[in-house]
Structure 1
Amino acid sequence: MAASVHGGRIGNLPAEANAFIGRGLELAEIAGLLGTSRLVTLTGPGGVGKSRLALRAAHAAKAGFRGGVWLVELSELRNPDLLTNAVAQATRLTEQTLRPLLEAVCEHLAGAPLLLVLDTCEHVLSECARVVRELLANVPELRVLATSRQALGVPGEQLLTVVPLPLGEHDDAVQLFAARAAAAVPSFALTEDNRARVAAVCTRLDGIPLALELAAVRLRSLPLERLLEGLDSRFDLLVSSARPRTARHQTLRTAIGWSHELCTPLERLLWARLSVFAGGWDVEAAEFVCHGGPLDPEQVFPLLVSLTEKSIVTRDVEGLVVRYRMLDTVRSFGAEWLAGLGEAAAVRRRHRDYFRWIARQGEAEWLGPGQRMWAERLTAEHANLRLAVEECLAAPEPETALELTGSLWFFWFACGFAEEGRGYLERALGRAPADGGPEHGLAVWAHRLVTVVPEDLEAAESVSAAYVWLAEERRLPVPALPLTGASLAVRGESARSAVLYGPGGQAPVGDGGAEFFQLMTLALQAYLLAGQAAFERCASVAERLRQDCAKRGEVWMRAWGDFFVALAGIGLGHADEAVASAREALTAKWRVHDRIGAAAVADLLVAAQAARGEDEPAARLMGISRHLWRTAGLPQLGRPDTTVFHREYERRLRASLGDARFTEAVREGGELGVEAAIGMALGGEGGSA
C-alpha cells in the first residue's frame, strides 16, 4: 500500500499563500521532465523562487500521482542524519520500528505512483543524494522533485535552472511587483503612468522575486518615486562596501540589507535574535529567547507585529494558534547580523533553555487535561526541539542533554517519534559516565521505553530494570512492571506471560514518569488478565485505570482503559458495549497522534464488529488496521501470520464470507484514506474523522 491514502487526501501540500505569477514556460518544462525523468532538481540562487515554483508545479501535478504528492521541507533541518526521519514524518510514517528507517520508508511509499518534493536540499546535500538514490532504487513508481542551490549528483538527475523573472514593462517581474504592492497597499494599481517606474524598480532588483516582494511592502511608507530613488542611493552605498559576490546574490542581499536599514534599531535587534529559531515560534518563545539588554519582554510583541508588517516575518494562524516564521534568506541575514553583534552563543543558549523548560512542563502536565494540547504544541515545535537537543549535545556538561532527551520520553513514546528519540538518547548516554545521577537514570529509562516493541523481549525486560533505577534515584516507591509479560502476551504466550507477571505493589506518585508507570502497570495488568481469559477481573482493572485517568483529565492512557473494557466486553459477550468503548479509545488515540494505539484499537474493533455478526464491515476494518500498522512502521503486526489475533480472525472471516468476498473487503478498507478510515471505524461511511 502506497502512502497515497494517508490523511484522507492526496498528499500534504499546503495551500498557496497568494496568487502565483508567471513562470508558464518553467511549469511546462517541469511537467515534461517529470513525465520522462524520475528525479528533477530546480537549481538557482536564493530568493529566485525555486520553492514557490516547485510548490506550484507539485499542485499542478497532483492528478497524475495516485499515490499522492508529499512535501518534505528541509530548511529547518540542521542534522543531516535526521533527513530520513523528515521524509517519514512528512509522509505520515510513525517511527516506531527497530528496522532501518529508510527500509521502512521505502516499503511505506511503494505501490502507486507518487511524487516526493524535497525543498531546500543544499545544506544536507550528501545525505539527500544518498536517500534519493535508495528511494529511487527501491520504490519503482516514485518521482522526486527537488530544490537546491546545487545539483544532487544522482544518476539520471535532470536539472532546470530557475532564473529571475523577465524584466520588460509587460513581463512577469512587473506583474509580480504590482500584485504584491496591491496586497500591501490596496489603493495601488499598475497604470500606464507608473508602469515605467515599476519596471525600473524591477530592473534595479534584477527580477529576483524575493527582492521584489520586500520592495513592494515599502510602498506602505514610501511613494513609488521615493522607493525608486531609495533603491538607487541605498544600493550604490551597500554594493560598494559589500564583499564580492555574484551580481544576483549581491542584489538580493542588498535588497534585504536595505529593508534592514529601514528598520528601527530594536527591530533589527529582534530580527537578529529571531534567527535562532527553526521552523517558527510563538510570542511566548520570542519574548523569552529574544529579550535582554535594550529589548524588554513587553516590547517583543509590538516589534514582532512591526516586522510582520514589513514582510520580514510572516504570520501563520491555525485555529487559535498563531505562529511566526522567516524565509531562509531573511533568517540567514539575521544570523549574520547576530554573529556580528557577538550574541549568537548567548541567544542560542536562551533558545536551548526555553525548550528545556517546555519539555519539563510537558512532562509534568502530560498525564492531565492538557495532553492533546501538549501533543500538538510539541509537534509544532519539533524543529526547535531538535535544535535545543543539538545545542545540549554540544555543551561540555552531559547532564543537559540527558535531562532534555529524557524529559521528552512522552513525546518520543506517545507521539510517534520513537526512532528519532532512540537516536538522541543513545547520543546523550554515549557522552555521559555510566554512574551518572538522576538525569542519567531518566535517560536510560526513556531509552528503554522507546525501544520496547513486541519483537524485542530483551528491551522489555531492561525497561523494567531501568525504571527501578529511576525510581530509586528519585526516592520513589517501586512497582512491579511486567513489560516482558506484555510482550509475550502480544505473541499469544499467555501462560508464560502470567508466570512473569507479579504483584502490583504500591504505585509511585508525585512525578510525571512515575504517574505514567502507575497507570501503565494497571494497563498491563488488564492486558495480561485478558490474555488469561479472566475477563471480569480485566474489566475491573480497566475501569480503575479509566477512573484514575479521569481524575487527572488524561486521555492517552484513559484510551487504553477503554480498550481493555472493550476487550473484556468481547470476552463476556457484550458486543455493543465493546464497540462503544473501542470507538472512544480510537477517538482519543487519534487526537493525540498515537498511530500505534489507533492500529491496536482498530484490531479490537474487528473483533467487536465480528462479535455483532457484522462480518463484512469487520473485514474492511481488518484492511484498515493493516494499513494503520504500516503507517506506524510495524507492518508485521498487521499480517495474519504474525499474531494470534490476526490468525484467528482471518480464519473466521474467510470462513464466513468466502475467500473472494473477504479479500475484496480487506482491500477496500486498506485503500481508504486514513481520515476516511478512522471515520468509518467510528461508525460513519468513510467520512472525515
Structure 2
Amino acid sequence: MGASVRNSRRGNLPSESNTFVGRGSELARISSLWGSSRLLTLTGPGGVGKSRLAVRAAHAAQAAFPGGVWLVELSDLRNADLLTNAVAEATGLTEQTLRPLLVAVCKHLDDGPLLLVLDTCEHVLDECARVVQELLAHVPGLCVLATSRQPLGVPGEQLLSVTPLPLGEHDDAVGLFTARATAAVPSFALTDANRADVAAICARLDGIPLALELAAVRLRGLPIDRLLRGLDSRFDLLVSPARPRLARHQTLRTAIGWSHELCTPLERLLWARLSVFAGGWDVEAAEFVCHGGPLDAEEILALLASLTEKSIVTRESHGVAGRYRMLDTVRTFGADWLTGLGEQDAVRARHLDYFRWTARQGEAEWLGPGQRMWAERLSVEHANLRVALEQSLAAPERETALELTGTLWYFWFACGFADEGRGYLERALRRAPEHVPGHTLATWAHRLVTVAPDDVDAAESVSAAYVWLAQERHLPVPALPLTGASLAVRGESARSALLYGSSTQGPGGGGGAEFFQLLTLAVQAYLLAGQGAFERCAVVAERLRAACAKRGELWMRAWGDFFVALAGIGLGRPQDALVSARAALEAKWRVHDRFGTAAVADLLIAAEAAGGEPERAARLLGVGTRLWYAAGLPQLGDIETTVFRREYARRLRAVLGDTAFAEAVREGRGLSPEAAIRLALDGTPDGVPDGDRDSAPGGADL
C-alpha cells in the first residue's frame, strides 16, 4: 500500500470556516505541553475564544496523533449521564454493546496516540472529571484537550488561561475585528484614518473575540465612527461612575444585549424562542416551534435570514442544507429572555410535540424508500431528540415518555444507539405503571435493544413482548422469528421450521409489525445457513430481498444480500458472493448500521479469500477488526479470538507468509473509514463510495 494510505488521518475535526487570527503564544504553549501532560484544560470566560483555539490547536497537532483527533462538543448536552455516550458517538463507537459503555470506549480508543477534545465542559464538570480520569487511566496513548470556564480538577491537569486578545492599534484584537469586518463588508479596509477608531472599539469591547465579531457585523449598516459612538453610549448606560471599566463577562453580555436592542421586536421574540433548540434546527422545525402570538409561521424564514445577517444565527454551510444554529453564549441570552417573557413552558412543549411527530413519521416510513433520509435526519437531530426525551420524562403525563422512547425503537436498534436507548426506556418504564398507554411498546423496544447474540432467554423475551404489542394494537401476530432462533440454538430445528411456515403472511402495521415479518425471513436464512442448507438459504434470502424491494427498503434488504452472499460462498460461487456482499456493505454504510457494516466486512474476507485474493482478504481482516470495535463489539469476548478470525488468519498467513500477512492486516486496520469502505467495495483504498458522507454513521468517523 502507498504512503498516502498509511498516513491517512482519522478524526472528526470540522474545517475552519474563517480566518484564525492571533493566539501564537497560546498555540506554542499548547504544543509544548503535550510532552509533559496528557490533560490540558483551556479556561476562561464565555466568548473569549476557548473553543476556536482548541480546534485550531487540534488541527495543528494531527501529525502527533496518528490514532486520530476527535472533537466532542458538549454545549448541547443537557444530561450529564450521557457524556460517555457523547464521547462514543463522536469517536465513531456504536453503542450496540452490553458491556459498560465506558469500558467499550476505552477499548475503542486504545489504538495508538490520539487526542480527544472535550469542548464546553463546565455544565457537566463532575461527569467530565470522572470520565476523563477513567479514560486516562485505561488508555495509555490518550491525551485530552478540554475547554471549560473552570478546571476539571483531575490529577495531573495542566491549565492554560485564555485571556482576551491583546489591545493596541497593531495587536490581535484589531486584526480579528478587521478580518471579520472585511468578511461582513468587503469594501472595508483598515487605514491610517480609521485605525484609531478600530482600536477604540476593540478596547471598549475588552478584546473579547465574540464581542468583536458581533460588533464587526454592525458595519453593514453603520460607518465606523457611528459604531464607536453607539458602543460608547450603550456601554455608558450600564457603567456607574464608580466602575469606569466593565468586568469581562459583563462586557460580553452588554455587547450581546446591544445586538439584541438593534433587533426588531419580532426578531427578538424569535431569538428567544429559538433558544429551546439544541444542536441546530431547520426552517420547518422553527416554524412549528416558534410560531404563535404576533409571530406568524410565514414570517420565520425572513426573520431567520435577518438574524443570520446580524450574526445572531449561523447558517450551516456544510453537511446539511437549510440548517441553522446559535453559539451557546448567544443561546443562553435568548433563553434568559424567554424566561423573562414567561413563555419557556409553552415553547418547550411545542418543541416536544414537534419531535414526537418527527419520531412517529420516522417509524412509519422506516421500512421504505425514505430509510436513509430518516437515518441521516435523526442523527442530525440527536441533540434535539435528547432535549425532547428529557422534557417527556419530566412531563406529568407518563405516557408521553413511554410513547417517545418506544417509538424511537428503530433509531436505537438500527442506527447504533442501543445503550442510550436502553437508558431512556428504563427511565420511562420505571416511572409508569403497566396499564399506562405506551407501556407495551416501550417494553418491547427495551427488550429489542437489550438482546445479545446467542442470548436465548433475551431473544424469547423480545418475541413475547411483540405478541403483547400486536394484540394490544389489534395487529396480525406473525410467527416468532426470535423464538425460532432460540429453538435452533437448543437443537430443536424441526420445530423451529414449523414456526416459519406462514411467517410472511399478513399486512404490515405500526409498532414494528413489518419489521418482524422481514426479520422472520432473515432469521430463517440464518438458521438454514447454519445447517449448511445453502440452496434453501439463498431462496429465503431472495424472498427477503424481494419483500424489501417492494418497500424500497435498504437496511433489511442488506441482510438479504448478506445471506445470498453467504450462500454463494457455501456453494462455491465466490464472484457471485462478492457482488451481493458489496451491495450489502454499501447499504449498511449508507444507513449508519455499523454492526451490519462489520458483519458484511467479515463476509467479504471469506469471499475475497475464496476468489483468490488473499492479500485483499488480509487487509479486510484488519479493516474488520476496526469496524467491530467501532460497533462496540464483541459483546461476548475479544474479536481476535473468534473461530472465524483465527481460521482465516491461519489460512491467509499460510498463503502470504508471516511478513506479508502482518503488513496487509496492519495496513487494513490503519485505513480511514472512507478508504476502508472503498477497499471493500472495489478493491482500491482511494476515494469514497458513490453518495459518500462527510462522516461515518452518527456524524463521526468510524
TM-score by length of structure 1 reads: 0.95
User: CA shift at 1:500, angstroms?
Assistant: 4.4
Task: Quickly say closer, same or farther: Cα 1:640–1:124, change in 2 above 3 A.
Answer: closer
SS of the residue corresponding to residue 233 of structure 1 reads: helix
Which residues of structure 1 form unaligned runs of 5+? none
Match in the other structure for 1:572: 571
Following superposition of structure 1 onto structure 2, how do residues 469-488 of structure 1 map, counting pairs within 5 Å? Answer: 469-483=468-482, 485-486=484-485
AA matched with 1:423? G
Following superposition of structure 1 onto structure 2, how do residues 283-432 of structure 1 map, counting pairs within 5 Å? Answer: 283-318=283-318, 321-432=321-432
Match in the other structure for 1:157: 157
d(CA) in 1 for partners of 2:461 and 2:8? 39
User: CA shift at 1:614, angstroms?
Assistant: 2.2
d(CA) in 2 for partners of 1:244 and 1:337? 27
Task: Quickly say closer, same or farther: Cα 1:609–1:507, change in 2 above 3 A.
Answer: farther
Match in the other structure for 2:499: 503
d(CA) in 2 for partners of 1:551 and 1:633? 32
Following superposition of structure 1 onto structure 2, how do residues 548-627 of structure 1 map, counting pairs within 5 Å? Answer: 548-627=547-626
Task: Quickly say closer, same or farther: Cα 1:229–1:253, change in 2 above 3 A.
Answer: same
d(CA) in 2 for partners of 1:425 and 1:71? 28
Task: Quickly say closer, same or farther: Cα 1:88–1:512, change in 2 above 3 A.
Answer: same
User: CA shift at 1:273, angstroms?
Assistant: 0.2
AA matched with 2:272? A
Match in the other structure for 1:682: 681
d(CA) in 2 for partners of 1:479 and 1:7? 51
User: CA shift at 1:651, angstroms?
Assistant: 4.2
Task: Quickly say closer, same or farther: Cα 1:453–1:636, change in 2 above 3 A.
Answer: closer
Aligned residues of 2:480 and 2:499 also touching (Cα < 8 A): no
AA matched with 1:432? A
More off after superposition, 313-322 vs 187-196: 313-322
Aligned residues of 1:6 and 1:675 also touching (Cα < 8 A): no
Task: Quickly say closer, same or farther: Cα 1:567–1:507, change in 2 above 3 A.
Answer: farther
d(CA) in 2 for partners of 1:133 and 1:640? 26
1:537 aligns to 2:526 (yes or no) = no
Task: Quickly say closer, same or farther: Cα 1:449–1:364, change in 2 above 3 A.
Answer: same
Match in the other structure for 2:113: 113
Match in the other structure for 2:696: none
Task: Quickly say closer, same or farther: Cα 1:511–1:7, change in 2 above 3 A.
Answer: farther
SS of the residue corresponding to residue 585 of structure 1 reads: helix
User: CA shift at 1:619, angstroms?
Assistant: 2.3
Match in the other structure for 1:524: 523
d(CA) in 2 for partners of 1:332 and 1:379? 24
Q: Give deviations 1:485-519, integer Å, cap 9, x for gaps.
A: 54787xxx584566545423334513251111111
AA matched with 1:645? F
AA matched with 1:17? S
Match in the other structure for 2:461: 462
Q: Give deviations 1:32-69, integer Å, cap 9, x for gaps.
A: 11221111111110011111111111111111111111
SS of the residue corresponding to residue 682 of structure 1 reads: helix
AA matched with 2:59? H
d(CA) in 1 for partners of 2:452 and 2:632? 11
Aligned residues of 2:68 and 2:113 also touching (Cα < 8 A): yes
Q: Give deviations 1:370-394, integer Å, cap 9, x for gaps.
A: 1111100100000000000000000
SS of the residue corresponding to residue 13 of structure 1 reads: coil
Match in the other structure for 1:513: 512
Q: Give deviations 1:630-665, integer Å, cap 9, x for gaps.
A: 110103679567555334434433444445544443
SS of the residue corresponding to residue 427 of structure 1 reads: helix
Task: Quickly say closer, same or farther: Cα 1:320–1:338, change in 2 above 3 A.
Answer: closer
Aligned residues of 1:41 and 1:147 also touching (Cα < 8 A): yes
d(CA) in 2 for partners of 1:575 and 1:66? 35
d(CA) in 2 for partners of 1:562 and 1:390? 38
Aligned residues of 2:441 and 2:511 also touching (Cα < 8 A): no
Q: Give deviations 1:15-44, integer Å, cap 9, x for gaps.
A: 111001111111111111122111111111
d(CA) in 1 for partners of 2:486 and 2:139? 32
Aligned residues of 1:6 and 1:674 also touching (Cα < 8 A): no
Aligned residues of 1:669 and 1:677 also touching (Cα < 8 A): yes
User: CA shift at 1:537, angstroms?
Assistant: 1.4
Aligned residues of 2:393 and 2:428 also touching (Cα < 8 A): yes
User: CA shift at 1:666, angstroms?
Assistant: 2.6
d(CA) in 1 for partners of 2:94 and 2:386? 17
Task: Quickly say closer, same or farther: Cα 1:244–1:266, change in 2 above 3 A.
Answer: farther
Identify which of structures 1 and 2 has the higher relative contact order when contacts are C-alpha pairs closer than 8 Å and 6+ apart. Answer: 2
d(CA) in 1 for partners of 2:487 and 2:313? 53
More off after superposition, 131-140 vs 634-643: 634-643
Aligned residues of 1:117 and 1:144 also touching (Cα < 8 A): yes
User: CA shift at 1:544, angstroms?
Assistant: 1.0
d(CA) in 2 for partners of 1:334 and 1:640? 49
1:20 aligns to 2:20 (yes or no) = yes
User: CA shift at 1:111, angstroms?
Assistant: 2.7
Match in the other structure for 2:32: 32
Task: Quickly say closer, same or farther: Cα 1:351–1:8, change in 2 above 3 A.
Answer: farther
Aligned residues of 1:494 and 1:531 also touching (Cα < 8 A): no
d(CA) in 2 for partners of 1:240 and 1:307? 31
User: CA shift at 1:340, angstroms?
Assistant: 0.2
Aligned length: 680
More off after superposition, 395-404 vs 662-671: 662-671
Aligned residues of 2:608 and 2:617 also touching (Cα < 8 A): yes
1:174 aligns to 2:202 (yes or no) = no
Match in the other structure for 2:697: none
Q: Give deviations 1:272-330, integer Å, cap 9, x for gaps.
A: 00000001000000000000000000000000000000000000033662210000110
d(CA) in 1 for partners of 2:640 and 2:11? 31
AA matched with 1:176? L
Which residues of structure 2 form unaligned runs of 5+? 689-702
TM-score by length of structure 2 reads: 0.93
User: CA shift at 1:617, angstroms?
Assistant: 1.9
SS of the residue corresponding to residue 252 of structure 1 reads: helix
SS of the residue corresponding to residue 237 of structure 2 reads: helix
d(CA) in 1 for partners of 2:12 and 2:390? 28
Aligned residues of 1:478 and 1:508 also touching (Cα < 8 A): no
Task: Quickly say closer, same or farther: Cα 1:655–1:62, change in 2 above 3 A.
Answer: closer
d(CA) in 2 for partners of 1:495 and 1:576? 33
Match in the other structure for 1:249: 249
Aligned residues of 1:623 and 1:668 also touching (Cα < 8 A): yes
More off after superposition, 615-624 vs 156-165: 615-624
SS of the residue corresponding to residue 368 of structure 1 reads: coil
Task: Quickly say closer, same or farther: Cα 1:608–1:498, change in 2 above 3 A.
Answer: farther
AA matched with 1:366? W
User: CA shift at 1:678, angstroms?
Assistant: 1.1
User: CA shift at 1:434, angstroms?
Assistant: 2.3
Match in the other structure for 2:700: none
Match in the other structure for 1:635: 634
Aligned residues of 1:484 and 1:497 also touching (Cα < 8 A): no
Aligned residues of 1:8 and 1:675 also touching (Cα < 8 A): no
d(CA) in 1 for partners of 2:497 and 2:435? 29
Aligned residues of 1:629 and 1:637 also touching (Cα < 8 A): no
AA matched with 2:499? P
d(CA) in 1 for partners of 2:54 and 2:551? 46
Q: Give deviations 1:346-378, integer Å, cap 9, x for gaps.
A: 100100110000000000001111111110010
